[in-house]
Structures are given as structure tokens and as C-alpha cells.
Structure 1
Amino acid sequence: MKRIILLFAIISLAISAKAQMGVGGGGSTITGRISGVVIDSISKKPLDYATVSIFRSGGKVPLNGVLTDSKGSFKLDNVKAGKWKIVVSFIGYPNKTIDPVTTTLSKPDMNIGEVVVAPSSKTLNEVKVTGQKALIENHIDKIVFNAEKDITSTGGNASDVLQKVPLVAVDINGNVSVRGDQNVRVLINGKPSGAMSASVSDVLKTIPADQIKSVEVITSPSAKYDAEGSAGIINIITKQKNVSGISGSISGGVGTRQNNGNANINYNQNRFSLSANAGGNFTWPQKSITTFNQVFNAGNANDHTLNSTSESTIKRYGAIGSVTAGYDVNNYNSFSSTIRLNQGGFNIEGNSAAKLAGFADATRNLSYTGTTTNHNKFGGFDWNLDYTHKFKKEGEELTISGQWSHSIVNTDYLNFYTAVNPNQKGSNDGRNNEYTGQVDYTLPATKFLKIEAGGKTIVRKLNSNYQVYGLNGGSFVLDNNNSNIYDYDQNVVAGYSVLTFTLPKSYSILAGARYENTDIKGNPETVLTGLTGFSQNYGTFIPSLTLQKMINSTNTIKLSYSKRIQRPSLLLLNPFINRANPQSQSVGNPTLAPEVSQTVEFNYNTFIGTSIINASVYYKQTNGLIEGILTPLSEVLDGTLITGTRSTNQNIGQNHSVGGSIFGSVNPVKWLTLRGSINAYTYNPKVYSQYASFFSQTGVYWQYTGFASASVDFGKGFIAEGFGFTNSARRTIQGTSPSFGIYVIGVKKQFWDKKASLGFNTVTPFSENKYFNQDITSAGFSQHSSTAFPFRSFGISFSYNFGKLNFSAEKKKGINNDDIKQGDQNGGAPGGAPSGGR
């Protein structure tokens, strides 16, 4: 009840700050149209594809725009009565300005007739240089990677795209990190997706790269964003466009590793817009080979070694689609709604051979084989409804949004061993429902001050139904002691305020504060397992501060401070012991506290001609650092003495990290573009005393990620690009996880006035497999594993675009849940073998 009252108070304050909920604050709702024809002054012929922009009279910021049709005609709809400036631009022509163009309530429509423009060769050269959107853009609050400009991404999936984004790293299993931290929130079009509740890494592999327009990386989010995700936010923008008339595209690819297809269609007429997108992919079967060695040296009769070799074959598939509809009632009120559907999964078939040796009791030394089958599927939908009210004051806006996300994750597995028990099969059915309500209000109080405030509530309800069956008398029967049904509720209520100050001498300040209250409850529905419920309730104050100075038009420096938290969720909290693999078990920790991190960053950004350089240094302190701890295990299951390890997440201490990053894009010659990025940072944990015995990594360790690429424009529509990246091994207090790196080469031919293209890509063509090594050492045991996974691939891709687009600004609206780490909303951990590959 307190959270409801708090949210109501926030909404009331936002509305009462400017009580203008009438249409346009009492203004007229009548809108009109400005039309005309663009003519070449020399040929006297109409110009198609010319850009016509509308500004306020004397203004510098375009409010909307369209492209001329094949007859040079244009129509700007939904124009309020007033004085306007019309600007016509076209490659090779100087801009033509008509100011003012006046419309009135009695005469809302205005035909300005012929607009004659004259060509200029000088302007043509200038436009060619500056009109090209860069692959990487640097904004005040984020870095943008324009994926649609990258030809080596074509035919891949979202994981392949993220590998090329500055500051972002993707490991062998598709886990995403920013500056080495996997506590990152991944959004689609500024909104969370229920599909991510199953596994971010698996869902990313179902999204075709051809569906992605750009990727935004926010490393120091302001208090306006949810506090969850210590590494920041990754926002994937898909190719849903505001268009005039009907347009769309189809694309796809066929290769030796994976195949995909994507299609979208867009319609926009006057105040109504509709867009639909559908895509999917599947991989050919991919076989990986893993060798594993484990040594237990506790100094007793249970000392032994385990050596095994296993093969697993994985097949992936996925489909994703969305429909978005929007309607602008008038210039002040608009509605939009989106429903996004997703479905995906992967199947694993595996076999293994293992040998136990070294026991003092010779009867326990044995060799055995095993087989594993694992079927995983996930899916669901996200449905949101947004209302935006714009006041008569320029920039003043109120947005009310709601979203319902529903997702499922289902796992069925069978593990069978020839000489050890327990042989087991099981199923895990997870359900997740998430309900979000959000209000945001923006008020430009003066030319020097902008005020933003808002409130939000998120209600999450998850259920995990884990049924385990043991082999008894030649048939499988339900094992009540190892089965589990668990409910998990998480409620978050938040309020924020952000002030933006624009000061003299090109200084600006962004200061914000946010408060979030978190309430968590876990409740077992079954009692035979001996599990008990748990609850947590805590509040978190999150300040943010950014100071920026524009030295000149091409050089900017910025100093920022941000605080973030990382909430543990059901997968990490559920105290149920997962014995799907009896020799490698896992269990949740209901006493786990959230991580809290604070980051200070200094950033410098410069544009030198067509070149871009961005550099930063930062310090990050994380309290309550969460890491998975492996401990030796010895227990009797179904009459068999099992030795192995059990993994539990713990708050192991603090980490003090310093780091730096630099990336840039340069054009040494007109036809060549070089890009590169490197991010290096330290791992320096200060471990709590109770975990000192697990701490095998001492000292300060440097870790890094980096990439480099080169693209060549041969002219006549031929483009070639090469790309490569590398990630160093990641450390924990017990060891290291695998390093990772690949390179890609691609060529593309554009034709039909760049409406269509045909391309070829190859990944690591001279090496069939990549090898991934992991080492863990702790009190009483050590282990080493090495996995060979096939990465070499060849493929062709195609795309075709149709229709004409305008560049109307995207509306600021919608839900933005930035508050759960990837994979944290699982409706229980999937049973059986891990995916073990991409």
C-alpha cells in the first residue's frame, strides 16, 4: 500500500506542476497541409527524392520532413496554424529556403507552388563527405553503432552485431558484458522484452542481424534510468521506420553456420502509422568436443581424479515478430501500441566417456559412459500501450505508459550413465509475467533549465515447476525429494527527478536523484524438499551527476558519476539444489544481497574532419561483489557415493577497478575507413575473510577487449570490409574463464540504385575450430576444461528495399525497464547439460 501511495504522489506532483491536460492547453485542434513541387532550374524537370523539411519560422531544428515523389511533389500534413520555414535540400544542390510560409485557422492548407533549385558542384562534394552517417557515433549520453552500415554483420544474428560495438564483449556462450561487467541490461527499442527472461544469450541468437538498425551503449545512465545493471544499458534499435506511404524490405542469408530471413513493411498516412516486422533463423548442427580434468586433493581417502571427454551437437532456431500502430490525434496528443512475439529454442545431443581413479578404495575406481539429450524452448510476448501529451510550451511533455510481458521457458532432459547413479530425466516449466506502469514529465522551465520527473512500478510474478524422475526397476518414477515448485514475486517502486542546466561558456550540468524500493518474496509450493520461503525488502538511493564542457564545435570533455545496483533474482536466490548433473550441481542462495557499484568517468570526444576519437578513463568500486563459488561435494544418491562440486553464488567482497578505453574512426583516403577500439581495466577483489580459502587469484589483473576493422569502397556499388576482435580471459577469485576472438571478411555489391544488394561473408576461413579453456583452483580441488567449437563458416546474403522514407523524429515514449541482469528472470534454471556453444 505504501508503494501505491508513493507512486500516486509522484504522478500527482508531475501533473500538478503544469495542469494543462486539455488538448493543446486549450489551443485549436485544426491542422492543415503545406504542399508544392520541386523543380530543377536547368532541366526544368521535377526532382524526386528531394528532402523537404519544415521548421518554425526563424528556427534551426527541423520538426518534420518528407521526400518528393516521382513528380517532384511533396505534402507536409498535420501543420498547425502559424508561420513556418520550408527548406528544400538535395545532393548536389544548395539548400532552398522559403520563410515565412503562413497558414491560418481559416486557411489551414497552403500550396506554395513550384520551388526552383539550382545545382552546385561544390555543394555536391560537401554533401558526399558530411551526409554519410558514420558507423560509430558519439552522443553526450551514449555511443551509437549503426549496424545497418556494417556489411560483415549481414547474415548473422544480434550476438554477431554486439561483438563489433565499442566497449561491448560477447563470450563463447553469447554472454554480453560492457567493460568486462556482465551486469548489463539489454533492451529492444528502449523497452525490455519478456523473451530475455529465459536467457539473454539465447534470445540474441534468434534476432537476425538484418533486423537491427543500430545499437546504443549507455555506460553512465542518469537517475532517469532504472538503477539495475552495474555495467549500464544496451539498447537494440530495430528497423521500424516512420515512412510516407508504403515501404519495406526483405533480406536474408544462407551459410554453412546459420541461415536467416527478415521482412518488414511500413505504412504511414497523415496521422496514422502501422509497421510490421518478422524474422527468424536456424543453425546447422554444430558439434563441440570438451576435455575435462578434475583433481581432488583433500588429503584423505576420497582423493581422486576425474577425466572425461564429451561430444555435444547443438541446433538452434528462433523467430521474432512485431506489429506497431500509432495515431496522432492532433499535434498535442498521440497513442501508440506495440506487440512483439518471440519463439526460440535449442536442442542438444551429447555423449561422454569418463574415468574415476585414485581412490584408496579400489572398488570406486571405474570407467563409465553417458548420454544426454536436452530440449529447450522459450517464447512469449510483450504488449505495451503509450500515451503522449505535448503542451503548448515547446518541449513540455507528459508520457503515460503500460506494458505486460509474458514469457515461458521449458526444458526437458535425459541423463543416462552406464556405471553410476542417479540416472535421471526431468522437466522444468518456467512462467514469467511482468506488469509495468510508468509516468514521465518533462518541463523546459527556462532556456537554462530543464526539469524531468517521473514514477514507475514493476510487478514480477514467476513460477518454476521442476519435475525430476529417477530410474527405478527399469522405469522412471517421480522423485519428490528432488522435484520442486517455487513461486517468486518481485515488486519495485521508483521515483526520480533530473535537472539539466545549460550554462554560459558552453558548460552544462545534468544532476539527478532516484529512489527505488525493492520487495522480494520466495515461496515453495512443495514441502518434501525441505525448502523454506524467504523475503527481502530494501531501499536504494541513486544519485547521478554529469558535468560537460564544449571546448569548441569539435571537442567536448565530460566528467560523470553514477551509482548502480544489481539485484539477484530467482535463478540466484532459489535454494533448490539442481542435481541434473550429479557431479556438477548448483544451488541458489536466498541470503544473497544486491551488488552496489559507483563509477567516476572522465571522457574526451573530438571530431577531426571526418575522423572521430573518443577516449575515457574511469574508476569503479563494487560492494557486495557476486561470484559463483565451487566447493567440493561428497554425498550418497540412490545408494551411490557421488563426489563432485556444487556451485553457489555469494557476496564475496569488494572490487576496485580502474580502466580506460579509446576508439576512433579515420578516413586516411576517401575510399578507406579504419576503425578500432580497446578497453582495458583491472580486476582487484578485496575478499571477505570467510572466502579467503577460495581465493586462488592474488594481485591486480589487467583484462581487455578490442576490435579493429577496415572498409573499402571500390565504387560502382562494390564494398569490402574486414573485422576482428579479441577478449582476454576473465578472472574470478577461483580462476579464469575462456578468452575469445574471431575475424570476419565480407564483400557486398549494391545495385538498382542501392535498393538491392548481394553479399558474401566468411568467419575464420583458415581455422575450423576455436578453443576455449577454463581453469579453476580452490581449497581441496582444481579443474581444467578445454572446448573445441566450430566457427569457420561461409555464407551469402541478400537484401531489397522498396518505398520512400521521410525522417520524422521518433516520439519519446514507452516503457524502459533497465533493472534486471541478463538471465536473471528465469523461471528456474534449465535442467540438463548447458548449451556449451554459440
Structure 2
Amino acid sequence: MKRIILLLAIFCSVLSAHAQFGGGGSSIVGKISGTVIDSITKKPVDYATISVFHSGGKAPLNGVVTDEKGKFNLNNLPSGKYKITVAFIGYGTKTFDPVVTTLSKPDNNMGTIILAPSSKSLQQVDVVGQRALIENKIDKIVYNAEKDLTSAGGNASDVLRKVPLVAVDINGNVSLRGDQNVKVLINGKPSGAMANNLADVLRSFPADQIKSVEVITSPSAKYDAEGTAGIINIITKSKNISGVSGAISGGIGTRQNNGNANLNIKQNRLSVTGNFGGNFTWPQVTPTTFHSYNDSLNITSDQTSSRTIKRYAYTGSGELNYDFNNFNAIHSSIRFNQGGFKTNGTTNYHTVTSTTNSIFDALNDTKTVFGGFDWIADYTHKFKQEGHELTFSGEWSHSNTDVNYTNIFSNSSAPSQRATNGGINNEYTAQVDYTLPISKNVKMEAGGKSISRIISSNSNFYKGSGDPANYPYDAGSSNIYDYNQYVTAGYSVFSFTLPKSWSLQTGVRVENTKIEGKSANTTLGLQPFTDNYTTFVPSFAVSKQINGTQTFKLSYSKRIQRPSLLFLNPFVNNSNPQNVSKGNPTLAPEVGQTVEFNYSTYIGASVINASVYYKYSKDFIESTTLPISPPTTTYNNIGYNKSIGMSFFGSVTPIKPLTFRTSINVYTYNGKAYPQYAFLQSSNGAKLQYNIFGSGSLTLSGGFTAETFAILNSPTRTIQGRNPSFGFIGFGMRKDLMKKRASIGINTLSPFKNTIDFDQNISSRHFTQTSHTAFPFRSVGLTFSYNFGKVSFKPDNPLAPKKNGLNDDLKTGGDQNGGGPR
């Protein structure tokens, strides 16, 4: 009831603001159409060039060519007066000025245009625009992935590894400035699959679908409060062109093979896009050694294993946009994904205690399948005043993950085991956003939101011998666990444009969270629980621009991070009898506060961005291994952390065809465990950590482009120890064909080293644990792409409605079953 009252109050305040401040401006678009025929033969003139200018202008705004019937459509034109020119080789150019469209009649059909032959010919003109690989904007950093040729044929993890301030470790875990509490969005929208299974979903996402990646380190109160590190927004490819077009791309290599296809249909106020892609990896063999010692229990455990991993995934999307009229527009999209991986191998276990010496083997077979969809619908109403709008949004996000494993033991008194765990997450979101330009220098944004997350986990265990299909059901270990979370939020943000190039933005967000959990198996000791808390989230930013090329910015933001299903699921994973793992359904959210000072500048073609920041986090969640028998890994609100950091990225072009780029992030980890977890802490004092990326690209004659890059991440610290460093290099080359409609390329990763070693060290009072894994990483692959369709050139429409994010929340984790690079 409280959530409904809050949304009604926000909606009433929106109507009140509209009544007080009024409105003005419009952004409806229309079209100008016609048919071109020959004055003598009366036959259609196909491939005639139609150009549109502002009335009396000299610079073309847009252009198309006529089809085989001589017809043309100049789409997406705001109401106004235009100049239209019609030209074709061997004919005289015809000019019409003005050609008028209005709000009441946005479409203008010019009818039949007669073109007369002439002895003069029109020389072809090509309009070419090129966007930089990295763009530094006032509120975010943009990495234009479609210009990164070394990521072609890869996946989203390969792209994110090269985005400034972002790091992706060998297991696919994503961090932003060293913090894994980052929310990843797709086109400004959340994805239930990414919330619950981020690392695997990113590996299943083809790089060829990604247009750009936006990094927001200090989100305003308009964004959801979750994601203490910030937000990463993946923008997929969707060509802003009129007509029918598409592209096919893919690659084949020694590590991964993929393909992707998209189709775009855009006519006047209607646009429809579709995309489908998939990938699979060749089988990869990964050897691992493991050692642990508990001196209080006098237990030594060792194991060696060799696993073969096979992966597959496919993803698709569809999107529809339509402007009904001058004031009303709808947007709807659906995105689905399906993927999985299968691991099989053998493991040798050796356990020594004060009284026993046990050696046994196991055949391991694990299958993980994940998938789901996100369906989004938006309705936007624009008032007469430019920038004055009201948007209603809704989303249904469904995701599921099934983890099934079988362990067949030999030479062991313990029974063999089989387990299935199915997790289902349904999220229902309703949101309203209102934007009002109060004056030329003041803008207000306000809104409200309701999220309902309904999560269920069904775990079934079977133990016995012989045929695994006939193992008896173990009711004492099996469980059904239901977890529900309800979030209600409201926000208000004010932006001020001040004299002397100063800008100020301040806002506040209030979120109320209600959670409840219930276990069907009361013998497991998981008692039902409920919790209810309210979080006050302010944000502040002030900036100063000098000479249009330098910007100074000081910002403060507070963020929280609610745990996702991976962290909450109490499913006990016994697939490794020497290291059991499970979730913790009683986890509280993390809370982080960040103060950042940023400086950015453009010097010719060079870009420089530098920041210093301080971050304080409390109740932060870490994976910890309890020194019991067997050792059990779970998640806890372990303590607090004070971190100081510095980040820098730059792009320098010493000569026109050559560009160098670098991104460096250096920060401290100084985690302190709460008293109840002090016995687990082994890492004390501030530890310096870093992420470094560097690249160089060279544009050669004949359509050739070459690029090389290197990545180096330091070891990362935790309360209990250290995760390993990670680094590799890559090279790539591409050749454009058919006037840049097609291309072929070759790229390679880690060409001088076949595997990347992953050494992990964990220790606490009376307990140590180490592991070594060699992940196969060296690869070489061929890539291709082809663009098709007869389309018009068109810049981005500045009047197109902006799509805001919905659920940028939930703490997520990496591959809970291990695996390495895919």
C-alpha cells in the first residue's frame, strides 16, 4: 500500500508542476516524398539523388536515391521549411524552395517531378564521418566498440576488457575502478539474465552486436541507487538510416566461433529492428591443482583435476518505435538469450588427518543452462516546450539458471551423488519519469518506480551407487527456497546552468526495500525472515568549463548494492567434497559513498581525462571460506573498506594515421573485517592495485587497418587473501572491401603464451588454501562482415526521445562453476 501511495504522490506532483509551469515545444518528425520521371520517355528515373537543405541553405541535411520506380522518401524531418534538389548524371538539377511541413501536416508528397536531360553531368560526392574510438563526455566515457577491429569475432567480455576504467578477470568478473559492484545495462535497460549470471551472459553476447559502451562513475539520483561502482551501459547496433538495411558478420577461430545478423527497417515515423547472433567454443582442457591445510583440525587436502569445457550461446532482439503524432510515441523491445556450458573430467582427491589417509577418484559431469528474456514497453508524451516530457515505462524480465552435476566416486566409502538446482527470477517494473525545463537555465527531473522480484530456487539431491539415474532421493538435503524483494523509489534532480560556464546538478533519491525469504525444508535450519529498510541517496555535481576544451568536475554520490540470486541462493554445491559452496539468504546490501574530482581536456585530436577519488564502503560483500571440515565457501557482509584511487586515460594522434591510447587505474584496498569475522582476516593494511590498458592503431592505404593492445591487471586483494594478476596482448588487421560495405580480418590473442596461469591464495587463522589453474587462452581467428541495403545517410536525430534505464541494481557475480576464458 505504501508503494502505491508513493507512486500516486509522485504522479500528482508531476501534474501540479505541469499546471504551475505550463509547457511549450515539439519534436514530431515527418517525411517528404515524390516520384522522379524522365521528361521525354516518361519512365521512372532510378538512382536519382535527392538532397534536403534548410530553406536557403547550402549544407545538405540528408539525402536518398530513388528506387526502381523513381520513388523517394526523405524521412525523420522535423516540421519546417526545406530546400529539395533532384539530380542525376546526364540531367539538369532541379531545385524546390521552400517545401513546407507543419505539425498538423508533417508529411509532404511533392507528386511527380519531371527531370529533363542535359549535357551537364553531376559529379558524385561522398559524405564520410568518423567517430573517435574513445569519447569523453561531461557525464560519461564512451568507448565506440564498432571501431575496435581486434574485438571482431569475440564476445562482450573481450570488448569490456578494453574499455577505460573497466577490468574483466580470467573468470569473466567485471569491475569498474577495481569494484565488482557494477551494474551492466543493455541500451539503458536492465537485464534479469545479467543480474543473475553476468559473467556467462557477457561471454554469450557477440561483440559484433555492440556499437558502444558507456561508463558512468558518478550517476545522479535519477538512476537506481544500486551499483556502488557505477554503471556500464552496452549500446547495441541500430543504424539511424531510412530504408531497409542490414549486416552479416562472424568469425571462426581456434577459441571461439560466432555469427551475427541484423535487419533494420525505418520508414518515416516507424522503425523496426531485429538482431540474432550466437557462438560456440571448441572444447578446452583446463588442469587444476588444489591444496588446503587446517592446523587446528590437522587436515591436509590435495586434489588434481583435468576438465574439458564446451560452451554455446545465442541471443536475439527485436525493437519497434513509432511516433503517433506530434506529442505521443511508443517504444517496445524484447531481448532473449540462451546459453550453457558442459564440463566433464576426472579428479583425484587426497585427504590426510591425524588418523586417516584417504585417496579416491571421481568422474565429474556438470551441465549449466541459463536463459531468459526482457520485454520493455515505453510511452512518451511530449509537451509543446522543448525538453518537457512525461514517460511511462514497464518491464517484465524473466531469467532461469539450471545447474546439474554428477560425481561418481571410486575407492571411496562416500556415496556418489547427483544434484539438480533450478533458479527462476521474475521481475516486474513500473516507472514514471517527468522532465520540466523551468527556465532556460533550470531543469527539473522527477519520477517514481516500483520493482517486484519473485525468486525461487528448487534443489534436489540424490545419493547412491551404480546407475546415477537410480540414485535414491535425499530429502534431508533437498530444498525449495522462495525469496521476494519489493523496491519502491522516488527521485528529484535539479540542474542549473550558471554564469561563467559553471554548471550544478543536485538531487535526492529515496528507496524503500522489503524482503522476505522462506525455506520449504525446515530441517536445514533456514528460518523464515523478513526485513524492511529505507535508504536516502543524495547526489551532487558541480563543473566548470574553460575555453570549451577543458572541464573540471567535482561530484559526490551514494550508492547501494543489493545481493542477487547467486549470492542469496542457499543451494549447497557439493560437487567438490573438499570445498563446499553455498549462498547466504540473509545478506544485507552494501553501501558506498564516493567523492571524485575529474579533469578532462581536448588538445587538437588528443583527449586526456584524469580523476582522483575517495570511496568508503560498509557492509561490503565478499566470498569467504570458513575453516571447517569440509571447508565451506559462502558470502558475508564482511566489513568496511576505505579506498583512495587515481584514474587516467588518454588518446594521442602524433600523425594522422597513427593513434595511441592508454587507460590506467591505481587504487588501494584497505578492507577491515567486523569483529565477528576478524578470525578470517589475513590481509591487513592498504594494498596497492592497478589496471593498465594500452593500444595503438594504424590506418594504412588501400583500406588496411592494424591494431595492437596489451592488458595488465594486478592481483586483487580480499579479506582472506589474493586473487591472481591477469594480462595478455593481442594483434589484429582488417581490409575493407566493396567501398567499405564488406571487410575481412584476422586477429590473435596471447600469441606467445598458450595458457594464462591463475593462482589463488586464501588464508585465515589456522587455515590456508591455494589453487593453480592453467586456462587455455591463445587463439587466432578470421573475421568477416557485409553490409547490405539501399539506404540514405542521416546523422543522429537530436529530437529522438532518450531511453532511460529501469533496474540498474543487484550485486552480481562471475562464473560460480569456474571455467576461464570462453
Instruction: Check whether TM > 0.5.
Output: yes
1:723-752 Cα distance to aligned partner (Å, 9 max, x none): 111111110111001211111100000011
Kept in 2: contact 1:190–1:816 (CA 8 A): yes
Letter in 1 for 2:211: K
- Please give the alpha-carbon distance, in whole angstroms, between the structure 2 residues aligned to 1:760 and 1:80: 43
Q: How far is 1:52 from its partner?
A: 4.7
Kept in 2: contact 1:242–1:273 (CA 8 A): no
Q: How far is 1:333 from its partner?
A: 0.9
Partner residue of 1:770 out of 734, 756, 759: 756
- Please give the alpha-carbon distance, in whole angstroms, between the structure 2 residues aligned to 1:231 and 1:497: 22
Letter in 2 for 1:9: A
Q: What is the RMSD of the two structures over their aligned residues, measured on CA atoms?
A: 3.3
- Please give the alpha-carbon distance, in whole angstroms, between the structure 2 residues aligned to 1:181 and 1:791: 24
Partner residue of 1:232 out of 216, 230, 244: 230
Q: How does 1:371-770 map to 2 (within 5 A)?
A: 371-418=363-410, 419-471=412-464, 475-575=470-570, 577-634=572-629, 644-770=630-756
Q: How far is 1:693 from its partner?
A: 2.2
1:422-470 Cα distance to aligned partner (Å, 9 max, x none): 4211101111111111111111111100111111111110110000111
Q: How far is 1:834 from its partner?
A: 3.6
CA 1:378–1:570 in 2, change beyond 3 Å: closer, same or farther? closer
Q: How far is 1:576 from its partner?
A: 5.2
Hey, what does 1:269 align to over in structure 2?
Answer: 267
1:698-726 Cα distance to aligned partner (Å, 9 max, x none): 22111000111111111110111001111
Kept in 2: contact 1:78–1:331 (CA 8 A): no
Kept in 1: contact 2:244–2:266 (CA 8 A): yes
CA 1:572–1:764 in 2, change beyond 3 Å: closer, same or farther? closer
- Please give the alpha-carbon distance, in whole angstroms, between the structure 2 residues aligned to 1:246 and 1:454: 37
Letter in 2 for 1:275: T
Greater CA deviation, 588-597 or 266-275? 588-597
- Please give the alpha-carbon distance, in whole angstroms, between the structure 1 residues aligned to 2:106 and 2:678: 80
Hey, what does 1:639 align to over in structure 2?
Answer: none
CA 1:501–1:417 in 2, change beyond 3 Å: closer, same or farther? same
Letter in 2 for 1:135: L
- Please give the alpha-carbon distance, in whole angstroms, between the structure 2 residues aligned to 1:333 and 1:754: 38
Letter in 1 for 2:819: S
- Please give the alpha-carbon distance, in whole angstroms, between the structure 2 residues aligned to 1:648 and 1:7: 37
CA 1:49–1:322 in 2, change beyond 3 Å: closer, same or farther? farther
CA 1:27–1:816 in 2, change beyond 3 Å: closer, same or farther? closer
Kept in 2: contact 1:354–1:368 (CA 8 A): yes
- Please give the alpha-carbon distance, in whole angstroms, between the structure 1 residues aligned to 2:382 and 2:110: 27
Kept in 2: contact 1:35–1:76 (CA 8 A): no
- Please give the alpha-carbon distance, in whole angstroms, between the structure 2 residues aligned to 1:720 and 1:306: 49
1:67 aligns with 2:58: no
CA 1:36–1:411 in 2, change beyond 3 Å: closer, same or farther? same
Q: How far is 1:516 from its partner?
A: 0.5
Q: How far is 1:389 from its partner?
A: 1.0
Hey, what does 2:2 align to over in structure 1?
Answer: 2
Greater CA deviation, 695-704 or 682-691? 682-691
Letter in 1 for 2:108: D
CA 1:814–1:619 in 2, change beyond 3 Å: closer, same or farther? closer
Hey, what does 1:18 align to over in structure 2?
Answer: 18
Letter in 2 for 1:819: D
1:191-219 Cα distance to aligned partner (Å, 9 max, x none): 11122244110011111111110111111
The alignment partner of 1:6 has SS state of helix
CA 1:99–1:225 in 2, change beyond 3 Å: closer, same or farther? farther
Letter in 2 for 1:387: Y
- Please give the alpha-carbon distance, in whole angstroms, between the structure 2 residues aligned to 1:685 and 1:440: 38
- Please give the alpha-carbon distance, in whole angstroms, between the structure 2 residues aligned to 1:175 and 1:194: 17
Hey, what does 2:819 align to over in structure 1?
Answer: 835
Hey, what does 1:355 align to over in structure 2?
Answer: 350
- Please give the alpha-carbon distance, in whole angstroms, between the structure 2 residues aligned to 1:248 and 1:531: 53
Hey, what does 1:321 align to over in structure 2?
Answer: 316
Letter in 2 for 1:238: T
Kept in 2: contact 1:388–1:399 (CA 8 A): yes
1:162-184 Cα distance to aligned partner (Å, 9 max, x none): 00000000011101010111111
Q: How far is 1:28 from its partner?
A: 13
- Please give the alpha-carbon distance, in whole angstroms, between the structure 1 residues aligned to 2:359 and 2:421: 30
Letter in 1 for 2:447: G
1:792 aligns with 2:788: no
1:108-140 Cα distance to aligned partner (Å, 9 max, x none): 7386999xx99999x99xx98xx4200000111
Q: How far is 1:74 from its partner?
A: 6.8
Kept in 1: contact 2:562–2:810 (CA 8 A): yes
For structure 1, list consecutive stretches of 5 or more residues without a partner in the other structure: 38-44, 89-96, 635-643
Hey, what does 2:333 align to over in structure 1?
Answer: 338
Kept in 1: contact 2:29–2:106 (CA 8 A): no
CA 1:266–1:616 in 2, change beyond 3 Å: closer, same or farther? same
- Please give the alpha-carbon distance, in whole angstroms, between the structure 1 residues aligned to 2:25 and 2:549: 42
Partner residue of 2:209 out of 192, 211, 215: 211
Q: How does 1:181-192 map to 2 (within 5 A)?
A: 181-192=179-190
CA 1:424–1:503 in 2, change beyond 3 Å: closer, same or farther? same
Hey, what does 1:309 align to over in structure 2?
Answer: 304
- Please give the alpha-carbon distance, in whole angstroms, between the structure 2 residues aligned to 1:558 and 1:80: 35
Kept in 2: contact 1:287–1:314 (CA 8 A): yes
CA 1:515–1:724 in 2, change beyond 3 Å: closer, same or farther? same
Q: How far is 1:339 from its partner?
A: 1.3
Letter in 2 for 1:216: E
Kept in 1: contact 2:172–2:820 (CA 8 A): no
Q: How does 1:81-230 map to 2 (within 5 A)?
A: 82-83=80-81, 102-103=100-101, 109=108, 131-230=129-228
- Please give the alpha-carbon distance, in whole angstroms, between the structure 2 residues aligned to 1:623 and 1:571: 20
Letter in 1 for 2:579: S
Q: TM-score, normalised by structure 2?
A: 0.90
Hey, what does 1:40 align to over in structure 2?
Answer: none
Letter in 2 for 1:705: N
- Please give the alpha-carbon distance, in whole angstroms, between the structure 2 residues aligned to 1:513 and 1:49: 52
Kept in 1: contact 2:196–2:813 (CA 8 A): yes
- Please give the alpha-carbon distance, in whole angstroms, between the structure 2 residues aligned to 1:554 and 1:103: 38
Kept in 2: contact 1:324–1:337 (CA 8 A): yes
Kept in 2: contact 1:247–1:265 (CA 8 A): yes
1:807 aligns with 2:795: yes
Kept in 1: contact 2:51–2:84 (CA 8 A): no
- Please give the alpha-carbon distance, in whole angstroms, between the structure 1 residues aligned to 2:61 and 2:247: 21
Letter in 2 for 1:6: L
Kept in 2: contact 1:296–1:304 (CA 8 A): yes
Q: How far is 1:530 from its partner?
A: 3.6
- Please give the alpha-carbon distance, in whole angstroms, between the structure 2 residues aligned to 1:51 and 1:680: 51
Kept in 2: contact 1:54–1:87 (CA 8 A): no
Hey, what does 1:94 align to over in structure 2?
Answer: none
CA 1:227–1:106 in 2, change beyond 3 Å: closer, same or farther? closer
Q: How far is 1:650 from its partner?
A: 2.0
1:489-540 Cα distance to aligned partner (Å, 9 max, x none): 0111111011110011110011111000011111112334342211111110
Letter in 1 for 2:137: H
Kept in 1: contact 2:50–2:85 (CA 8 A): no
For structure 2, list consecutive stretches of 5 or more residues without a partner in the other structure: 37-44, 87-94
The percent identity for this pair of structures is 55
Letter in 2 for 1:468: F
Kept in 1: contact 2:457–2:569 (CA 8 A): no
- Please give the alpha-carbon distance, in whole angstroms, between the structure 2 residues aligned to 1:797 and 1:2: 54
